[in-house]
Amino acid sequence: MLNLPENFQSYSEARQQGFMRMKGLKENGKMVVGTFCTYTPTELILAAGAVPVGLCGVSDEPIPFAEKILPKNLCPLIKSSYGFAVSDTCPYFYFSDMILAETTCDGKKKMYELLNELKYTHVMQLPPGRNSEMALEGWHSEMLRLKEVLEEQLGTVITDEDVRQAIRLKNRERKATLDFFEIGRLKPTPLSGYEVSTVIDTNSFLFDTEEKISLLENRTAQLRKDYEENFAGKPSRPRILITGCPSSGVREKIIRQIEELGADIVGFENCCGPRAQKDTVDENKDPYLALAEKYLRVNCSVMSPNPGRIEAMEEMIEDYQADGVIEVILQACHTFAIESDRVKKFVTTEKNLPYLCLETDYSQTDTGQIGTRISAFLEILQG
Ligand code: BJ8
């Protein structure tokens, strides 16, 4: 029998249920690997017979715990993630057998050093750019090293066939996720950005990939039917593409507000959207090399240079017929903040579309001010 945290009785019912669910999973012999990033090769976790679970903090609730140790002027996603871990309030961290992380932004990689004091954290050395041959070589050797670490930590053996099977399964999941996202291309869209954001987050806590695939396929089919019956031929509201930092932690404050104020969020050019789904893993080459190639192509601002993000944005603006772009920058995220100038120029001068940048954190203090700025932006779009 596994123990629960000391404060378990003081937790909300929903949180207690999360703990009990994870406890049940672990007591049935499942191993759990906590992850934080789109660069994580989850195929290797599946190949090890374990389940990957996302640990990115999306709430400001545990931030005071984090701020006892971390600087206040740090990205809220990092503080929230660490705060959940250090306060024993996240069932997924609490029951993880190990943590798998990568050297992405400075804040995250230094936070992982502290996380390692709480639970074994393996940090993959992600190259800071992808253009040199050394980048791919180094990242490939990190994949091979990860195999050894997972075998050692989880007491298992990973065969090449296990990895190939996991690659095929994840590629199917990517296809189902992409098909779901691409409902946003329909005009008018029958799918809200709020739903996209919620479904993707909820799915990351489903541990059966086949179940995830079938839920996504069913919802996509329903939405297509809904479009044919209720939306086709009707006028469209202004169509917004979201870009920038991950937006799950500002779902209520920004995503919901944009849609309540009269626009449709049709796509996410960030880690909550098709960024990692469009690009599958090559099933016909050495699996470790194929994984290294795929994950090195993720267009995050931590890569320097990062031209692929602008290319992906151009494609999304066209494919999703966006009328405007809203960029979300989490406070103290330097890489996205610096890249935003390039994004703004691209959107406004090359695509001739309105652009709005919202810099924020996870608190509710600027909700009204953000609403005012969104309203003014939508007036420009409509005018
Ligand atoms: S691949 S976006 S999930 S690193 S917002 S913690 S970058 S200071 S979350 Fe990210 Fe991976 Fe990139 Fe995606 Fe740092 Fe910026 Fe905070 Fe960030």
The mean per-residue pLDDT over the stretch 44-52 comes to 96
> CA 50 to CA 53: how far, in whole Å?
10
How far, in whole angstroms, is CA 195 from its chain's centroid? Answer: 15
Residues within a 6 A CB radius of ligand 1: 37-39, 75, 77-78, 104-105, 107-108, 245-246, 271, 298, 300, 302, 330, 333, 335-336
> CA 74 to CA 30: how far, in whole Å?
34
Nearest CA to ligand 1 atom 8: 333
Q: What is the pTM of this model?
A: 0.95
Q: What is the pLDDT of residue 200?
A: 85
Q: How many other C-beta atoms are found inside a 10 Å radius of the C-beta of residue 271? A: 20
DSSP sequence for 96-156 = -SEEEEE--SHHHHHHHHHHHHHS-EEEE---S-SSSHHHHHHHHHHHHHHHHHHHHHHT-
pLDDT over 90 at 235, yes or no:
yes
Distance from Cα 105 to the centre of ligand 1, integer Å? 7
Q: What is the pLDDT of residue 363?
A: 97
> What distances in angstroms separate CA 182 from CA 55, 271, 280, 327, one per listed residue?
26, 15, 16, 20
Tell me 243's DSSP state: E
Q: Order the strands of the 31-35 sheet from edge to edge.
A: 50-54, 31-35, 98-102, 121-124
Total count of residues recorded for the chain: 383
CA atoms within 13 A on the CB side of 62: 24
Residues 6+ apart with CB under 8 A from 313: 241, 243, 269, 325, 343, 346, 347
Q: Which stretch of 17-31, 71-85, 255-269, 298-312 has the lowest confidence by average pLDDT?
A: 17-31
pLDDT digits (tens, 9 = 90+) for 100-147: 999 999 999 999 999 999 999 999 999 999 988 899 999 999 999 999
Q: What is the pLDDT of residue 152?
A: 98
Closest residue by Cα to residue 360 from 229, 272, 249, 273: 249
Distance from Cα 245 to the centre of ligand 1, integer Å? 6
The residue whose CB lies within 8 Å of the most ligand 1 atoms, and thus the one to mutate among 333, 343, 360, 362, is 333
In terms of CATH architecture, what is 11-156?
3-Layer(aba) Sandwich (3.40)
Nearest CA to ligand 1 atom 17: 245
Ligand 1 atom with least separation from CA of 104: 4
Q: What is the pLDDT of residue 258?
A: 98
Q: What is the pLDDT of residue 22?
A: 87
Task: Please state the domain extents for the chain.
Answer: 11-156
| Phi–psi pair at 75, nearest 5 degrees | -50, 135
